[in-house]
């Protein structure tokens, strides 16, 4: 029996499985996770698939350990992933912060369910999107994508790995139970058509002396991303979650702290154009803009189509990426558009961002979660706003 | 007249980040002694220094990662072990040692500790047991003897401590020992031995923390605690003493058993490997 790495071809595939296949195709070779509905199928698929491609699957004792283990494996040079849902994401927040601070590439999948607390384990939600942005303590920036279909569970997983490596940052895949458990057509391209952006690596040879002669956190290029050194390469590196200087050494001064934290945030802001993904529908002449993401965007697209049939100039701005928030785009839109409707399966989270950036009152189509928002309430909001 | 040759060099120079000195540890602290044993063991291991990696959690003991001049990761409180597990499984050719404190490893990190032992992951753990949380100022923790005082137990600790060798043996560790900071040679030899003992190894080293623990418990300085170890320590070989008797109580005139308690030959954890894997 021989095993295939990339399952090139047309499939009728489960969203969680498509995510797992995206990971394998992207070269993920380490998964550490803890079972939780509705993400478990990702772990189950990878428990079967990773050994087939020479990768490591380990079921950890909890999500604290899962997150720590993937960071360790990434420092060993592997592409790494974990998958969870809200309760697990809460536990991962601690070491997500470590990942940001140490600039360790990793992919964290959150198949969202109704929350808070144990909430609705088997039913969808989108109420972790602010936690994704702000859940770990401190000022930081990271990246989050939000797939709306099994196809995107594959495509955005591949992108997530590339962005994580390119910018040395944790990337979250904020999906939901509907998309995770949906079965749809997934086209997996041939292996040579799958993007692979390698990690930036140091060019200088290790001196072997250590003692601060090498600066693993010196970001000399305009993108503010320092090259990544892995364990066992002879650099005698030091990584610490303490505030550190360019040698990686702890430096308990306000100046160094200011410099480091600013760079970590600027690193994402400055490269936002390369990171952000938007999917517009009927936006060219739109006067009413619906903003949605994940499964809710499927209903929003239908609502916008129905509005167009009635001659209402509505458009959909689907947020394929959630973080960093596309401030520039919304700024520009706000110059001409007065009405923004945000549809999301929470009580108004991304709506806060739209409101903040557009400085216009935003109309919300909100639901606490448990069932997908149907097209009708979104259509109603469009009609009422005309 | 014979002349004395003075050297500017020390055999361990290559293993210490001298540009980070002076270190943060208090006078009389035991951590430096154990770090020196670790460095000496690396030097004698015959394994290239490039292949040795140290992972620490948070605490005074966790600062060791910052002073060792090898690849070193100073992670989050309690998570050194799962970080090390990920690193070791990703790059099995590395010799991964977790060097951390009793609070870090057995309180906040206790769950990871028992599960790494159960899986018998091939990582080497050196646990500095100073019976308290030193870094945060002498609070009691899961290794503080019952009745001992700490800044969060002004009336005496009402809880029973962990018996770490017993715990580790029950959890499935392949190799478990205990030493103290007066056992410098034994500690070094044992760490060296653990490098060659596949699977999960756990070496507990009792260490004075005159500031955090001594002060609240009528132990005046590091030396006095070292003398206490010398008076009380009894060497055991496997099987000589009931596991229950391994419990330590510094306030009582009873022996502190040291030595090797568990020496098993269970195969270490290996991720599933398929014959025709790509
Ligand atoms: C999540 C979290 N909780 C609490 C702390 C505060 N803290 C830092 S070190 C420490 C205790 C360390 O004790 P131990 O591991 O025994 O190390 P020692 O300082 O005694 O060597 C605590 C509670 C922290 N850094 N992170
Ligand atoms: S507080 Fe205790 S453990 Fe920490 S450096 Fe001082 S003596 Fe050592
Ligand atoms: Mg301690």
CATH code: domain of residue B107: 3.40.50.970
In three-state secondary structure terms, B264 is coil
Q: Per the domain annotation, does B22 fall within a domain?
A: no
| Long-range CB contact pairs, A8-13, < 8 A, 24+ | A8/A188, A8/A189, A8/A190, A8/A191, A9/A187, A9/A188, A10/A185, A10/A186, A10/A187, A11/A185, A11/A186, A11/A187, A11/A188, A12/A183, A12/A184, A12/A185, A12/A186, A13/A150, A13/A154, A13/A183, A13/A184, A13/A185, A13/A186
How confident is the model over A313-368, as pLDDT tens digits?
A: 999 999 999 999 999 999 999 999 999 999 999 999 999 999 999 999 999 999 99
Q: Is B101 in the pocket of ligand 2 (CB under 6 A)?
A: no
Which of B87, B110, B122, B172 best probes binding to A when mutated, by most A CB atoms within 10 angstroms? Answer: B87
Domain range for B256 = 30-276
Return residue ranges of chain A for CATH 3.40.50.920. 279-384
Whether chain B has a CB inside 8 Å of the CB on A94: the answer is yes
The reported pLDDT for the residue numbered B242 is 84
The verdict on residue B13 lying in a domain is no
* Residue A83 alpha carbon to ligand 1 centre in Å: 28
Instruction: Give the tokens for residue A203.
Output: 């060019």
Contact A377, A345 (CB under 8 A): no
Q: What is the pLDDT of residue B240?
A: 72
| Residue given tokens 């020196």 in the structure block | B36
Residues spanned by CATH 3.40.50.970 within chain A?
9-193
Q: Do B70 and A210 touch (CB under 8 A)?
A: yes
Average pLDDT by consecutive 10-residue portion of chain B (278 residues)? 82 94 97 98 97 98 97 98 98 98 98 98 98 98 97 97 96 98 98 98 98 95 95 82 85 89 96 87
Q: At what angle do helices A63-75 and B80-90 cross, to 10 degrees?
A: 40
Residue B148 counted as domain residue? yes
**Residue B5 falls within a domain, yes or no?**
no
Cβ(B135) – ligand 1 distance below 6 Å: yes
Q: Is this model's pTM higher than 0.95 or not?
A: yes
For A258, counting Cβ atoms within 10 Å of its Cβ (0-12 exposed, 13-18 middle, 19+ buried), the class is exposed
As a whole number of Å, the end-to-end CA separation of chain B is: 71
The number of helices, as runs of H, and strands, as runs of E, in chain A is: 13, 16
Residue B166 lies in a domain: yes
- How far apart are the C-alpha atoms of B254 and B244, rounded to whole Å? 13
State if residue B101 touches ligand 1 by the CB under 6 angstroms criterion.
yes
Question: pLDDT tens digits, residue range A179-232?
Answer: 999 999 999 999 999 999 999 999 877 876 777 677 899 999 999 999 999 999
> Residue A238: its chain B contacts at CB < 8 A?
17, 65-66, 72-74
Pocket test for ligand 1, best of B135, B141, B150, B210 (most atoms within 8 A of CB): B135
- Measured between alpha carbons, how far is A374 from A367 in angstroms, rounded to an integer? 10
For A9-193, CATH number out of 3.20.20.150, 3.40.190.10, 3.40.50.970, 2.40.50.140 equals 3.40.50.970
What's the rounded Cα separation, in Å, for the pair A185 and A170?
28
Q: Token pair of A240, please?
A: 């610490």
Q: Please report, for residues A17, A149, A156, A340, the alpha-carbon distance to residue A344 in angstroms, rounded to integers and kept in the order given.
A: 24, 16, 20, 13
pLDDT score, position A204? 79
Q: How many domains does chain B have?
A: 1
Query: Hey, what CATH topology would domain A279-384 get?
Result: Rossmann fold (3.40.50)
Interval A296-319: pLDDT, tens:
999 999 999 999 999 999 999 999
Residue B167 structure tokens: 């715990």
B269: in domain: yes
Closest residue of chain A to B62, computed from CA coordinates: A240
Average predicted confidence (pLDDT) for chain A: 97
Q: Across-strand partners of B72? A: A238, B54
Is the ipTM of this structure higher than 0.90? yes
The alpha carbon dihedral of B164, B167, B171, B173 has a sign of: positive
Residue A245 to residues A97, A98, A202: CA-CA distances in angstroms?
17, 16, 17
Predicted local distance difference test score (pLDDT) of residue A208: 64
Q: Report CA(A185)–ligand 2 centroid distance (Å).
A: 60
DSSP code for B214: I
CA dihedral A195→A200→A206→A210, nearest 10 degrees, is -130
**Ligand 2 binding pocket includes B65 (Cβ within 6 Å):** no
């Amino acid at each position: 029996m021989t095993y295939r790495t990339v399952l090139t071809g047309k499939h009728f595939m489960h969203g969680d499985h498509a995510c797992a296949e995206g990971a394998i195709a992207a070269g993920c070779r380490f998964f550490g996770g803890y079972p939780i509905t509705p993400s478990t199928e990702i772990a189950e698929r990878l428990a079967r698939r990773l050994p087939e491609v020479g990768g490591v699957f380990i079921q950890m004792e909890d999500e604290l350990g899962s997150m720590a283990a993937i960071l360790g494996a990434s420092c060993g040079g592997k592409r790494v992933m974990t998958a969870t849902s809200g309760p697990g994401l809460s536990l991962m927040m601690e070491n997500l912060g470590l990942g940001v601070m140490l600039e360790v590439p990793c992919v964290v999948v959150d198949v969202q369910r109704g929350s808070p607390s144990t909430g609705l384990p088997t039913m969808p939600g989108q109420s972790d999107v602010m936690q994704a942005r702000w859940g770990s303590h401190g000022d930081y920036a990271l990246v989050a994508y939000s797939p709306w279909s099994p196809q995107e569970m594959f495509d955005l997983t591949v992108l997530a790995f590339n962005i994580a490596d390119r910018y040395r940052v944790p990337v979250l895949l904020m999906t939901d139970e509907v998309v995770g458990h949906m079965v749809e057509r997934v086209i997996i391209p041939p292996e040579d058509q799958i993007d692979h952006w390698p990690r930036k690596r140091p060019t200088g040879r290790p001196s072997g002396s250590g003692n601060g002669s090498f600066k693993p956190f010196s970001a000399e290029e305009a993108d503010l991303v320092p090259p990544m050194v892995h364990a066992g390469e002879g650099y005698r590196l030091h990584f610490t979650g303490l505030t550190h200087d360019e040698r990686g050494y702890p430096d308990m001064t306000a100046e160094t702290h200011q410099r480091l934290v600013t760079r970590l945030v600027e690193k994402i802001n400055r490269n936002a154009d390369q990171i952000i993904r938007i999917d517009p529908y009927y936006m060219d002449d739109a006067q009413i803009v619906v903003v949605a993401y994940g499964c809710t965007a499927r209903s929003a697209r239908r609502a916008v189509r129905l509005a167009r049939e009635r001659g209402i100039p509505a458009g959909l701005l689907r947020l394929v990426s959630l973080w960093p928030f596309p401030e520039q785009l919304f700024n520009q839109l706000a110059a001409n558009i007065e009405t923004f409707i945000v549809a999301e399966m929470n009580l108004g989270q991304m709506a806060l961002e739209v409101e903040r950036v557009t400085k216009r009152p935003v109309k919300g189509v909100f639901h606490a979660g448990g069932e997908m928002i149907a097209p009708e309430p979104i259509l109603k909001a469009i009609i009422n706003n005309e | 007249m014979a002349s004395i040759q003075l050297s500017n060099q020390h055999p361990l120079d290559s293993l210490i980040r001298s540009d980070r000195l002076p270190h943060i540890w208090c006078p009389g602290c035991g951590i430096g002694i154990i770090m020196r044993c670790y460095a000496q063991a690396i030097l004698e291991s015959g394994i290239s220094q490039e292949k040795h990696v140290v992972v620490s959690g948070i605490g005074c003991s966790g600062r060791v990662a910052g002073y060792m001049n090898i690849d070193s990761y100073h992670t989050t409180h309690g998570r050194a072990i799962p970080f090390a597990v990920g690193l070791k499984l990703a790059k099995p050719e590395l010799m991964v040692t977790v060097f951390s404190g009793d609070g870090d490893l057995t309180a906040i990190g206790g769950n990871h500790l028992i599960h790494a032992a159960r899986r018998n992951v091939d990582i080497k753990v050196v646990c500095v047991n100073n019976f308290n949380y030193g870094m945060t100022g002498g609070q009691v923790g899961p290794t503080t003897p019952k009745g001992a005082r700490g800044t969060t137990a002004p009336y005496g600790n009402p809880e029973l401590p962990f018996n770490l060798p017993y715990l580790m043996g029950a959890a499935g560790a392949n190799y478990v020992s205990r030493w103290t900071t007066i056992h410098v040679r034994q500690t070094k030899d044992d760490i060296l031995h653990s490098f060659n003992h596949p699977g999960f190894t756990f070496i507990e080293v009792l260490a004075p923390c005159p500031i955090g623990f001594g002060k609240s418990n009528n132990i005046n300085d590091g030396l006095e605690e070292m003398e206490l170890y010398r008076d009380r320590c009894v060497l055991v070989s496997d099987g000589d003493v009931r596991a229950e008797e391994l419990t330590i109580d510094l306030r009582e005139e009873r022996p502190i058993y040291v030595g090797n308690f568990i020496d098993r030959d269970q195969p270490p954890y290996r991720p599933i490997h398929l014959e025709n894997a790509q």
